[in-house]
Structure 1
Amino acid sequence: MNEMTKMPVTKPADSKTIQNSALKSETPARIEGVCVYCGSGKGLDTAYTIAARKLGKTLADNGIRLIYGGGSLGLMGEVARAALGAGGKVTGIIPEFLGSREHMLQDVDELIVVENMHVRKQLMFDRADAFVALPGGVGTLEELVEQLTWSQLGRHSKPIVVANINGFWNPFLNLLDHMKAETFIRAGLDVHFSVVDTAEEILPTILGKAAPTSESKEQELLRKF
């Protein structure tokens, strides 16, 4: 049963609040929530939809909360419905002005409506222990690059996984290689992230990047794979 009657509405934070909450975050010892960036469309390749569904179910099956953009369309809707269908917990974070355009998914157990994109992205960062980029458009790319930049500048060390389903992200990966070849990405400012080719590899990769702890939830989960 969702909590629409108790839907938390987040007021816009001021710039000082945003800056303070973006202070360096260390590699999490426990992965309790994963933020998934993906398109509000499905794309032409059905493999993207299949991957989104598999990821949503995998997170739910392993007791990890999905944090995403709050929409019901495209890959966003697919990953969220798959998680909900498997009994998982889902947090949707969406700006009010996108509510009708991306059609808020009313079935999530936590729906946070914010005033603008900046607060949305900040809350997604604050709530998540790791980030996954499925195929998507300019918005997905912008969200991914922001996390890569924050990591590059030492503002966080949370795991970032690029799900390169059927080579979708190859042009972007080639661009990063070009930037490095042209020395715009220099030694000491490396961009740290993992690339996987299938949905099945995403969670094991995230768990493998989490800070080691004795008898951790991650160690228990890894034994399942």
Structure 2
Amino acid sequence: MKSYIHWICLFVPALMSMTTHPAISATSSLDLQVKETAGASRNAEIVRSGIPPPVELNLTNLDHACVRIENRTAVASQLDVLGRYNAGKSVSTAPIQWLLASFPATVSANQTTTYRLFFNDSTCSPSALSNTITVSQDASGITVNTGAASFRIGDGYTGLFSSIQISNSGSVIMGGATTIAVNGQEYGHVNLRDVTVKKGDLATAVTSP
């Protein structure tokens, strides 16, 4: 069976860069190589990438899709349909054009771990991600808890985060004002007045001021 490679690169815990190889031909699986480039071992850190299944697969659902590690052990993952060929995303009979794969990857420092996405394998038993990220909202802001840390956004603050609390140590890091320098002159912005949750699932939280 011929497999093509899709790259996912880890740089720092909060930032991930992903590059893709040329078009994927009709194949029932796809190698996902997760490469650590910052010199820090990663344990079950969420990686995600958009993947374009070939139209020839006529893949209309993800009921039998799953991610496996090199030894073919299934990995808990979240697979979402992003778009379909010549149809709206809600048209379930149309082939999937883009899907988003999110899963926890474990990679040693400066090493590469290979995972494999199976598009339609009857032996797949999809394992959903545990509740790795929670989002709670109150009148003054939003708290995003990743398990490793809690990020507070809002409270009329001028910074990116009003505070960050590290879970294992209990220490709290207070945010600073966000500024931009143009021709040597610094500029700020008004206090944050409102925050909205644009997307919240088991692997991602997206907010918008």
Q: Give the TM-score range, shorter chain.
A: under 0.3
- TM-score by length of structure 1 reads 0.24
Whichever structure has more strand as a proportion of its residues is 2
Whichever structure has more helix as a proportion of its residues is 1
Computing the radius of gyration over CA atoms, which structure comes out larger, 1 or 2?
2
**Highest RCO, 1 vs 2 (Cα 8 Å, sep ≥ 6):** 1
